[in-house]
Structure 1
Amino acid sequence: KNTPYPILDDRIRETYATQSKVTNIRALYDSYIRAIRWASDRIDNAGVIGFVSGSGYIDKPTMDSLRKSLAKEFTSIYVLNLRGDIRKNMMNKNNAQEGENVFGNGSMTGIAVTLFIKNPNVTESCKIYYHDIGSNLTTKRKLEILDEFCSIDGITHEQGWQLIIPNEHGDWINQRDDSFANFLTLGNKSNNKKKKENNKKLFEIYSCGLKTNRDVWTYNSSRECLAKNMNNMITFYNNEVERFDDAYSHADHKTRTKAVNDFINTNAKKISWSRALKQELAKGKVFKFEEICLTRSLYRPFTKQWLYYNRSFNEMVYQMPRIFPMGKVVENKVIQVTGIGASSFSVLMNTDIPSLDSIEKCQCFPRYIYEDTESLKNKNEKQSHLFTYSTEANTTAGLQKRDAITDEGLAHFKATYPNETITKDDLFYYVYGLLHSEDYRARYADNLSKELPRIPCVKSADDFWKFVTAGRELGHLHVNYEDIEPYPVTFKKGNPKQTDISNPEKFYYVTEMKFAKIKNSKEKDKSTVFYNSNITITDIPLEAYEYIVNGRPALEWVMGRQCVKTDKKSGIVNDANRYAVETVGNPAYPLELFQRVITVSLETMKIVKKLPKLEIRETE
């Protein structure tokens, strides 16, 4: 159990947290940030503090207020960024250039050495000095450089310090482009009116992907296994409620709440507890398994699984029930983008409920919103403006379907291109096309790592329609990937057309796909994949690996997820072959999916490379 530090946390709230522009400030209570706060108060108005800590505070959006506070409290700060963020390397296929960690295998987190100085005789504003140790360096080389520098003076002697002038957002490095604020934002949940920003939004609502806090239990490739797992867990939970009620039948709510942690059976083979589920137990609430909650979900890029979609067993559903209503079959599409602070920017269109990590920290922008007709009747007259958005009757009883794209968003683009007939559907695909633009991603990379995308108007109507068309083509590929023509790979072994397959399930059964190895090299031969002991495929075009989504080639997502995995704690087996047989009715589905995603990848990159050069109209 974590030790509480109420006085220290109050100081963090008074200083670091008050200036934050992000809603999730939990990271500010990390142990090393608590240590910085404690040490800052300890030296009062004069002294020096030195820390070897995680480097995330240097540029993470969630640390904006920390950086602002540090610049106010100290007269000079020296930051030596040793890089080595292994997770960032993994998510970016080493394009992050973090290199090895200075502690070798001892840490996955990037490391920084920082000196904070308070000099009461200095009256001018804080000077921040920054040095980046370099890209893609080994642990050995980093230690050699530290030995060569020896001290701050060593870096000074080499003229290695860069003087940082923070911008108004609190960015120290990778500072965002301020012109980005002139564009239309995809979504805005804040009511604050910022003078320098365009507060018009393109989507009325958006939502994080689904966060269950018990994925092993609530997701499975097999609908049958998922139902069995959830049924067993709910039964066990109800038994725990009964046992708890017997022991604390006369206790008040406060006593019951305090007693839960020490009372419950935490056997990981029986249940996965979470904060919310413990609260339900304290209230004495019991549940029943509901088959209507079983639905399909996009768990990872190009990977569908069955989901138990239920508020009680999904820790955070966010706005998802307004996009994909619970227990109802509806038609919808979402544009998923990586969330603030993600390792790299990515976008993917999807028609199923997305998990929070289907792409990193994903935020989902829907084509439609579904409203419960009963709740609509009870809405206050002050909210009657909602009905100005186009609506239509839905075949699903009790729901009303309407556009998620705002009227102000449509008006913005119509005013820019007055001679064009533009619909909200066009805008949806314009956004998707534009977010694939390599020019856009490169120019606004620093903004996209710190805030939601904003959408500019391109200079010409002709380019606007090119982005719309590209968005439609990309959307078709990414939504319908299971129906795209499989790429004609060469079968080095086990060509299905030349093999007598007496038992298809056994023949196509996959446990783990692997790349071939290049002789006398550590490198992998990505043109050849060992599918299973029966099948080896080759002549996979290497350009197919250029299509990166969520930090990895789309093909490698397929390879990584079409497998058999057993969770160590629960013992639950997730067998991708069961989805192939039970849901698709085709044992060859994993193999064909790999071939289809080759086609998807090649066609995606063809479209992306033909996108027009990004030329922005100055209309905002």
Structure 2
Amino acid sequence: MDRGEITFEDILHKYNHELHANEIVLLSYYIASINIEAVFDEVNGPERGYQPFEGIVLTDTFESTERENSFADELLGENNERLKKQQEQPITAIISNPPYSVGQKNANDDNQNLRYEALEASIQNTYVKNSNSNLSKGVYDSYIKAFRWATDRIGNKGIISFITNSGYIDKGSLDGFRKNIFNEFNYVYVLNLRGAIKGKSGDVARKEGGNIFDILTGVAITVLVKDGSDNHKIYYHDVGNYLTKSNKLKIISNLGSVENAEWETILPDENNDWINQRDPNYQKYVSIVGEYKSPFLSNAPGVSTNRDIWVSGFSKEKTIKNTEYMVGNYNEAVKNKRSNEPEIDDTKIKWTVNLNKMYKNSQNINVNRNNVTLEMYRPFTKKWLYYDKQVIERPGQFYSKWGENNLVLVTTGRGVRNNFSTLVTNEIPCMDLLEKTQGFIRYNNSDQGISLLIDNGNVSQQFADELGLSLDDTFAYIYGLLNSKEYQEKYANDLKKDLARIPVVKNKEQYVEIGKKLMDLHLNYEEVPVFDNVSIERKSNPSYEVKKMKFAKVRNSETGKLENDRSTIIFNTDITIRDIPEKAYEYVVNGKSAIEWIMDQYQIKTNKKSGITDNPNDFSNDPKYIFNLLLRIINVSVQTVDLIDSLPKLEII
């Protein structure tokens, strides 16, 4: 207006007839209304008088197009009139910070998501229909719904500007969303503000930098333009690595407009990936499972209890008692049931979907102490698990296929945040052993006891014949290959988005040899000699009980800040381990060094909801078990780094 490009009458008309706002929370509704009116009052000036804003509606935006009336129409007739006026108006620009809600964390949370049939049907016919992923849950979270709602609302021409979770940029399950956004809009601008540290650790997390909203999920600003042209272009700008929150806010302020960013033009690939695009040659190799010539006949996700603190722990006896206590409370609840909705008390029962079903069916649970077994809970961390279908939410295929003795090669699953990882174990794997753990067992023992003549191998003889190797050597070959640094770096984008593919390489005998050595090291880590090239400071008659290990601190001479000194671990108040080689931290499993997994897991923790304390000192009768384990894992790490470095150059045949 100061430049003479628009008049006050233009602004007044916009304010009275073309500016609309929705808010579902009453207090926020009033705050938004006051803020809008206050800004207009500055333009309006005192001589014209205060003018209320009548374009705001107390409504659920998604619901507002599901039916004619607002949910508040019975209380506020004027509100309903405003909604009808809004519904009749063409909308050409939508600006929002949509809410985020992908669903309940567990059955104890009373936050069931609302259903919007018309909107979800639109999502089904677009984002889900055009997706190659079998994982569609995330497509129905609120911020994705907001994109779909806004796209449908503006029609053939208009602009959408959102600040949202940034997951849609690269998530495998949102490939259909990206495809539709590219096809439905003429110009797409994405400013990736990063800050996605959830599920990440180490340098991978540090690269994300600070979060502008101080949350764990990444943030992006998206501007979508429909102008009716035949153009379809994506412009992308990554704010950069290691930036603080204030750095990022300053960058946004300095940019001021989409015109001022240094945009990278993105051309989606055949997978509808925008960034971190996959290697097209990689798809030529056979998948680790699921194809005719795949090396494994079947796979299974790790065991997901959905109530770890109740049925898993370092102490075998306490794990049984915790299970018995929860089951006893559950059976008592069934006995005294008055309705199909149980009373929620986190100190007595962890309710889940399956347990709720059993409750509705008045089904009792019996505890059998013989159902306790060891599991590989986290890398190089064993716990006791009460493994029974009635109390384990997703017991998985290991329940029937594991048998008494087995091996499983585990990898990270599809759509992971951290870089690819693999591990081998002879214990049942937890779902969170690695991120979204996928397990490939050596033997399928589901028919064990029926006939000793049945071939129970889970490794494909056909793939082994193609390699010219035995079944055991084929298993070792795969483990050696998956540990190859060159393989992991070359196919990093593919390995984050899908299960591994297994090429045939030259020098396969060396991969077998090193794979076997890695297997021996990782399976028998509790017998590996302690690393003796460290300095250990002990008080006289030291305690070997651990509460929480930590790194010593050293002051950075440049920044003046205290930082972790990874060469020194304070085991407890009596023992300090010094001169740990930096090389040992190069062995990273699931985003964290193996040493740091020991430090993270072997600490006394009390669960806030249940009140249960899990004490790692209860695991072994040997008081020095954890102390020696830490020294063994330092040795395991150094040897693993040496073995991986000795793998031959990756030459694919």
TM-score range (shorter-chain normalised) is 0.7 to 0.9
* TM-score, normalization by structure 1: 0.84
Q: Letter of the aligned partner of 2:368 in structure 1? A: E
Distance 1:526 1:48 in 2: 50
Task: Tell me, yes or no, if the aligned pair for 1:209 and 1:361 is still in contact at 8 Å.
Answer: yes
> How far is the alpha carbon of 1:45 from its aligned partner?
1.4
For residues 266 and 95 of structure 1, do their structure 2 counterparts lie closer, same or farther at Cα, with a shift above 3 Å needed?
Answer: closer
Give matches, 1:256-275, under 5 Å: 259-261=339-341, 264-275=342-353
Deviations 1:106-128 (A, max 9, x none): x11111111112222x134x211
* TM-score, normalization by structure 2: 0.80
Aligned partner of 1:574 in structure 2 is 614
Deviations 1:271-325 (A, max 9, x none): 1000110001111111111112100001000100000111111111222224324
> How far is the alpha carbon of 1:392 from its aligned partner?
4.7
> How far is the alpha carbon of 1:401 from its aligned partner?
6.1
Does residue 144 (structure 1) correspond to residue 250 (structure 2)? The answer is: yes
Distance 1:408 1:94 in 2: 38
2:571 to 511, 522, 531: 531
Give matches, 1:100-499, under 5 Å: 100-103=210-213, 105=214, 107-120=215-228, 122-124=229-231, 126-155=232-261, 160-188=262-290, 200-244=293-337, 247=338, 259-261=339-341, 264-325=342-403, 330-343=404-417, 344-372=419-447, 392=452, 402-414=456-468, 422-458=469-505, 460=506, 463-488=507-532, 490-494=534-538, 499=540
> How far is the alpha carbon of 1:578 from its aligned partner?
0.3
> How far is the alpha carbon of 1:200 from its aligned partner?
2.5
> How far is the alpha carbon of 1:133 from its aligned partner?
1.3
> How far is the alpha carbon of 1:95 from its aligned partner?
6.2
Task: Tell me, yes or no, if the aligned pair for 1:222 and 1:306 is still in contact at 8 Å.
Answer: yes
1:562 to 578, 597, 602: 602
Q: Letter of the aligned partner of 2:268 in structure 1? A: P
Give matches, 1:58-97, under 5 Å: 58-87=169-198, 90-94=200-204, 97=207
> How far is the alpha carbon of 1:7 from its aligned partner?
2.1
Task: Tell me, yes or no, if the aligned pair for 2:204 and 2:591 is still in contact at 8 Å.
Answer: no
Aligned partner of 2:126 in structure 1 is 15
Task: Tell me, yes or no, if the aligned pair for 1:371 and 1:401 is still in contact at 8 Å.
Answer: no
Task: Tell me, yes or no, if the aligned pair for 2:165 and 2:220 is still in contact at 8 Å.
Answer: yes
Q: Letter of the aligned partner of 2:391 in structure 1? A: F
1:602 to 638, 642, 650: 638
> How far is the alpha carbon of 1:612 from its aligned partner?
0.7
SS in 2 for 1:180: helix
- Consecutive unaligned residues of structure 1, counting only runs of 5 or more, are 189-197, 248-258, 377-390, 394-399, 415-421, 502-506
Distance 1:165 1:481 in 2: 47
1:46 to 139, 157, 164: 157
Distance 1:609 1:42 in 2: 56
SS in 2 for 1:402: coil
Distance 2:589 2:582 in 1: 16
> How far is the alpha carbon of 1:6 from its aligned partner?
2.3
- Consecutive unaligned residues of structure 2, counting only runs of 5 or more, are 1-110
Task: Tell me, yes or no, if the aligned pair for 1:241 and 1:286 is still in contact at 8 Å.
Answer: yes
Q: Letter of the aligned partner of 2:360 in structure 1? A: A
Task: Tell me, yes or no, if the aligned pair for 2:197 and 2:205 is still in contact at 8 Å.
Answer: no
Aligned partner of 1:194 in structure 2 is none
Distance 2:304 2:467 in 1: 34
> How far is the alpha carbon of 1:406 from its aligned partner?
1.4
SS in 2 for 1:595: helix
Report percent identity of matched pairs.
38
Task: Tell me, yes or no, if the aligned pair for 2:302 and 2:430 is still in contact at 8 Å.
Answer: yes
SS in 2 for 1:349: strand
For residues 601 and 182 of structure 1, do their structure 2 counterparts lie closer, same or farther at Cα, with a shift above 3 Å needed?
Answer: same
Structure 1, 171-180 or 537-546: larger mean CA deviation? 537-546
Task: Tell me, yes or no, if the aligned pair for 1:185 and 1:199 is still in contact at 8 Å.
Answer: no
Q: Letter of the aligned partner of 1:403 in structure 2? A: G
- Aligned residue-pair number: 537
Distance 1:143 1:373 in 2: 61
SS in 2 for 1:593: helix
Task: Tell me, yes or no, if the aligned pair for 2:402 and 2:443 is still in contact at 8 Å.
Answer: no
Q: Letter of the aligned partner of 2:490 in structure 1? A: R
Aligned partner of 2:647 in structure 1 is 611
Task: Tell me, yes or no, if the aligned pair for 1:297 and 1:304 is still in contact at 8 Å.
Answer: yes
Does residue 99 (structure 1) correspond to residue 200 (structure 2)? The answer is: no
Task: Tell me, yes or no, if the aligned pair for 2:547 and 2:572 is still in contact at 8 Å.
Answer: yes
Q: Which has the larger radius of gyration?
A: 2
Q: Letter of the aligned partner of 2:257 in structure 1? A: S
For residues 144 and 42 of structure 1, do their structure 2 counterparts lie closer, same or farther at Cα, with a shift above 3 Å needed?
Answer: same
